[in-house]
Structure 1
Amino acid sequence: MKGLVFHGPRDVRYETNVPDPKITSPDDVLVEIAYCGICGTDLKEFFSETPNFFPANAEDRNEITGLKAPLCMGHEMSGTVVEVGKNVNHVKVGDQVVIDPSVHCSDAARFPESQLKKGETCSQCRYGLTNICDHSSIAGLGAHSGGLADKFICSSKHAIVVPKSIPLEIAALTQPLAVSYHAVRRSGFQEGSSALILGAGAIGSAAILCCYGFKASNIVVSEPSEVRREYAKRLGATVFDPSIYSNHENELEFVIRDLRKLSPNGEGFDYAFDCSGFPATFQAAIESTVSNGTIVNVAIWGAKPIEFWPMDITRHEKKIMGSMCYTTEDFEGVLKCFDEGSIDVETTRSFITTVVDLQNGIEGGFQHLNNNKKTEIKVLITPNNHGELEYSKSYTKVFQN
């Protein structure tokens, strides 16, 4: 089969002789890939001399699976089931599915060369918190081959059936949306509540849709980039530019003041989601919420610690929590929102800015996205050249031979 194969740092190749995946376990599901997205993490792995997920040494094996490069990339995928193992009963041949690409220690038994001890399972996985597994990894990012290939194989528990109302190109956006959905779900978001989102990159933009999925009454997004603000506005949010005070000595104080003015009755927001990960955005999240409000850190921070005054939390009984990745429940939640219409399919379609076939995936996918980060949102690769590639008029550019 065809695939985009990671051989080592800065060595990803389009190949036409990748071995076809085969059913080896009674719980396996074989999927023909329709679409697979490229995210910022994929870009970093593709271009970096020192990747974070794939091992820098191509001979190193993944702890859970025991596998090593070469492996196909790609983890944001949708497709159609073409074969199932004899014990699989919740999905069947012909079902359209999305894949939860997380790989955790409870998956180790499926891989004969796993580096984990037989039966070893961390406490988080025992409680169903697979998103914070001690050994967590991701298909298409070093655990095992991913969705930038004609076909993909996994345990059936990682395949979630897509309702027929949802097109497969939209279904391919489920994984990136699931990150934000998990944050909103974890916050305990209540219908009719207000939300502040700090940062309108991919995760922040997805958080807008997910807050609406939870029936938010008012969403404000703080974002310095004009392009991102305009996109957040198109998604239905009220936008604020914090950079207007960038040359003022009381910059943060004025930003917080203006953000609170945009909240209901000027009293603050019920929930704040920091999707940026800077000391200023974290402090703004804390001070822009109501008493008893909830602050969720969704951003991935660098190694340097920051300072904040605990009494900002204690005096007003505010809650701070973290949110990491997603679980299968979040995939199901996103799909339910699509199916019920609380997340609009056509609005979500605006995330897709380029569709490219697999053989053009390096130049028209990875390199194009890397060179056009300010205008591109989501690049999809379609290994099996689905029809949407031919008639897609809404996408910015379509690469096709």
Structure 2
Amino acid sequence: MKALRFYGNRDVRVDDNVPEPVISKPTDVLIAPQWCGICGSDLHEFLGGPTFCPTHPHSLTADKIPVVLGHEFSGIVLAVGSEVSEIVVGDKVCVEATQRCEECANCRSGRTNCCVYGPAFYGLTGLGGGLAEKVVIPVSHVFKLPSDLPVAYGALVEPLSVAWHAVELSGFKPGMTALVLGSGPIGIATILCLQAMGAKTIIVSEPAVGRRKQAEEFDVDFVINPFEEDVVAKVKEILKGEGAERSYDCSGIQATFQASVAALAAGGIAMNIALWEKPTQYNPMDTLVRERVIMGSIGYTGRDFAAVIAAIADGRLKGFEKMITARIPMEDTVSVGYDGLINNKEKHIKILCTPFPELLK
């Protein structure tokens, strides 16, 4: 079959002779991925990797590069194993991409995203991914989409689940105030989840003019240009002298980390969602004198996928379809998709790729 595979740093290729996956376990589901989003982690892997893509047999998957890419995907069920009853052939589904052992203390407690053998994901660490004509996934990772939801929108459930997990983990409650630092794809997803959870005020800090306009299109309350205004002072001005009750760093640089803490009210929580390329500096006094808390959030669990799908179905999550800014064939993933997100990122939020070019007609 045809699939997009990672071979190494800046070496991603479409191969025509990848072995087709087959159902080997009674709990397997065979899926034809129709749409797959390009994630920031894909770009990090391409530009600076391999990081997640294993150069030696992975402890969970036993795979090593070249591996099939794509972990934000949705598709149509082609076949199911003998013990699968909740999913049937023809269903529209999305995939919770976290790979885990199911046996360590973290997995047993429900923190499957923190498996001691991870982080690991379908579409990064082996066993197939969404940028292929077929993939086999355990039914425990497969989530049925609402019947009236276009399959393409199902590819957004994964990035929305990243944000949902972070917002819920931060203890966010309806009526709270929030600061979001960075309005790239995960920043936008965080805005949408905050809105769905009843935020009173959402303030966004974003230096890029194009991304500030994108944030405004998602109806946030205030957008700050950190190059022109002091983020901490502006947040306190907007909130009548108080800091934000929660902050979400979706950028991962020194300036956003510092602002995410300093802009908090007493007892506030700064949630880091960003991937970091290097360590940052931290002064413990910034948390001590106001009893603030710094937390981190990685990925999602199946509960987050179920919650996001429910919020889409009942209308709490609104406007997420505007995240899609381009749809392209899988063959153009690097030349158009990666290039657009690296060199023209202010134009794009989420680029979807498909192994089936007829879907673009």
Whether the TM-score (by the shorter chain) exceeds 0.5 is yes
Partner of 2:109: 127
In the TM superposition, residue 285 of structure 1 has moved relative to its aligned partner by 2.3
Question: Pick from 86, 90, 101: which aligns with 1:90?
Answer: 86
How far residue 322 of structure 1 moved from its aligned partner, in angstroms, is 1.7
Query: How many residues are treated as equivalent by the alignment?
Result: 359
Contact 2:60 2:101 in 1 (8 A): yes
The alpha-carbon deviation at position 28 of structure 1 amounts to 0.4
Structure 1 portions without partners, runs of 5+ = 107-120, 246-253, 391-401
- Return the alpha-carbon distance in structure 1 between the equivalents of residues 215 and 296 of structure 2: 23
Residue 231 of structure 1: CA displacement?
A: 0.6
Single out whichever of 363-372 and 214-223 deviates more from structure 2: 363-372
Distance 1:173 1:386, change over 3 A: farther
Change (3 A) 1:269 1:10: closer
- 1:226-265 correspondence to structure 2 within 5 Å: 226-237=209-220, 238-245=222-229, 254-263=230-239, 265=240
Contact 1:283 / 1:308 at 8 angstroms: preserved in 2? no
Matched, 1:291 2:263: no
Q: Distance in 2 between matches of 1:361 and 1:231?
A: 23
- 2:45 alignment partner AA: E
- My pick for the range that moved more, 215-224 or 315-324, is 315-324
With over 3 angstroms needed to count, the CA separation of the structure-2 counterparts of 1:284 and 1:32, relative to structure 1, is same
- Quick check: 371-380 or 212-221, which moved more? 371-380
The residue type paired with residue 262 of structure 1 is: I
Contact 1:296 1:323 in 2 (8 A): yes
The residue type paired with residue 323 of structure 1 is: S
Deviation of 1:169 after TM superposition, in Å, equals: 1.2
Aligned position for 1:348: 320
Q: Matched residues in 2 for 1:159 and 1:299: separation?
A: 26
User: Percent of pairs identical after alignment?
Assistant: 39
1:333 corresponds, among 299, 307, 322, to 307
The residue aligned with 2:184 is: 201
1:374 CA displacement: 2.9
Q: TM-score by structure 2 length?
A: 0.93
What residue number does 1:300 align with? 275
**Aligned-residue CA RMSD (Å):** 1.9
Cross-structure match for 1:248 = none
Give deviations 1:313-367, integer Å, cap 9, x for gaps.
34433333221111111111111111111111xx222211111122333433334
> How far, CA to CA, are the matches of 1:200 and 1:103 in structure 2?
28
**In the alignment, is the contact (CA less than 8 A) between 2:68 and 2:126 conserved in 1?**
no
Shift of 1:217: 1.7
Q: 1:360 to 1:223 in 2, by over 3 A?
A: closer
- Residues in 1 aligned to 2:20 and 2:136: alpha-carbon distance in whole angstroms: 10
Instruction: Tell me, in whole angstroms, the C-alpha distance in 2 between the residues paired with 1:235 and 1:200.
Output: 10
Partner deviation per Cα, 1:47-87 (whole Å, 9 max, x = no partner): 44x411113x4xx2111111223322111100111111111
Aligned residue in 2 for 1:35: 35
Name the stretch that deviates more: 333-342 or 312-321.
312-321
Question: Which residue number in structure 1 is paired with residue 99 of structure 2?
Answer: 103
**Which residue number in structure 1 is paired with residue 297 of structure 2?**
323
8 A Cα contact 1:103 1:143, kept in partner:
no
1:205-247 CA distance string (max 9 Å, x none): 11100101111121000111111111111111120111115xx
Deviations 1:91-143 (A, max 9, x none): 1212111101111122xxxxxxxxxxxxxx32211211111112111111122
TM-score using structure 1 length: 0.84
- Please say if residues 102 and 139 of structure 1, whose CA atoms lie closer than 8 Å, have aligned partners that are also in contact: yes
Say if 1:353 and 1:377, in contact at 8 Å, map to a contact too: yes
Return the alpha-carbon distance in structure 2 between the equivalents of residues 176 and 94 of structure 1. 24
Residues 11 and 290 of structure 1: CA distance in aligned 2, closer, same or farther (over 3 Å): closer
CA distance in structure 2 between the partners assigned to 1:8 and 1:79 by the alignment: 27
SS at structure 1 position matched to 2:227: helix
